Amino acid sequence: MSAKPGSPLALALAIWTWFELCVLSLACFFLQLVLAPLTWPFDRNRVITGSLYRRTAVIVSRLTPLWDFKVVGSLPARMGRTVVVSNHCSQADPFLISGVPWEMKWLGKASLFRVPVMGWSMWLAGDIPVVRGEKASARSAMARCARYLERGMPVMIFPEGTRSLTDEIGPFKDGAFQLAITTGADILPLAVHGTASALPVHDWRFARARARVAIGDPISTAGMSLEDIPHLKQIVREEIEALRAKLRPLTTM
């Protein structure tokens, strides 16, 4: 849909996106509240309430005329004890990545969990809060990630720790890689491209974007020790960079 930035049409579409986001988020939250006490006793991984939250994000992106979001790449042969990592360039990234066809638990900054409705839904989905800069919080969050992995539930971590404000991928923190090595989990690289314009930094208006997320090949951590973290980070970074290079022609508008 053609809508020049700043035009009345673009403004109307941005308002529509916020409207449908709020309505669908409320519906998801109340349905989660109903399902939680019925399913959690036998669903320790909160697959049902988590999948509902992810599917709501996908529906939001599909109902947004400004966005063209798709998943590309072959699906892994198996999921389970897997740490999924991706570059991070926009608050719209979760809407795009939620399109992958498996449930996983997301590590996110604790302040997001305090956002009314959407943050509460993250908690009901079983996602994992962490307070930036607090070692005790980081240890607790990683321990919770490890318990999910032990039960066969993948976890999703942005190794940069925050959004990149440029087209360059920022430095990777050790956490995701240490977690994978200590639990014997595979690392699954994802790459996103095109989301930066979907919800620009410091702007409430949604905008046009053609974005893709590419699924890489799982990387085994078998036989690795913590001394291998720098090497593992480099391998994963190179894989994400290669995937992003393939995505660039697909996201040109």
> What does the alpha-carbon distance between residue 59 and residue 55 come to, in Å, rounded to a whole number?
6
In DSSP terms, 157 is beta-bridged to 85
On whether residue 80 sits in a domain, the answer given is yes
Number of domains in the chain: 1
pLDDT of residue 104: 97
pLDDT of residue 5: 62
The DSSP secondary-structure symbol of 228 reads G
In DSSP terms, 69 is beta-bridged to 211
On whether residue 240 sits in a domain, the answer given is yes
pLDDT of residue 240: 97
In DSSP terms, 190 is beta-bridged to 86, 215
On whether residue 1 sits in a domain, the answer given is no
Q: What range defines the domain where residue 199 resides? A: 8-251
pLDDT of residue 138: 95
Instruction: Pinpoint the alpha helices (H) of the chain.
Output: 8-39, 47-63, 93-97, 118-125, 135-150, 175-183, 229-247
On whether residue 3 sits in a domain, the answer given is no
Residue 209: strand, helix, or coil: strand
Burial of 155 (0-12, 13-18, 19+ CB in 10 A): buried
What averages of pLDDT result for each successive group of 10 residues across the chain (253 residues)?
65 88 97 98 97 97 93 86 96 96 96 96 98 93 98 97 84 97 97 90 81 96 97 97 95 81
Token pair, residue 10, equals: 């673009």
On whether residue 13 sits in a domain, the answer given is yes
Helix (H) or strand (E) holding 190: strand 186-193
CA atoms lying within 13 Å on the CB side of residue 123: 12
Token pair, residue 175, equals: 């956490």
On whether residue 53 sits in a domain, the answer given is yes
Q: How many CB atoms lie within 10 A of CB 46?
A: 24
Q: How far is CA 233 from CA 42, 105, 111, 137, in A?
A: 36, 21, 27, 23
Angle of the 118-125 helix axis to the 47-63 helix axis, nearest 10: 140
pLDDT of residue 113: 97
Residue 227 has phi, psi (to 5 degrees) of: -65, -15
Domain containing residue 58: CATH number: 3.40.1130
Q: What is the pTM of this model?
A: 0.93
pLDDT of residue 237: 97
On whether residue 108 sits in a domain, the answer given is yes
On whether residue 55 sits in a domain, the answer given is yes
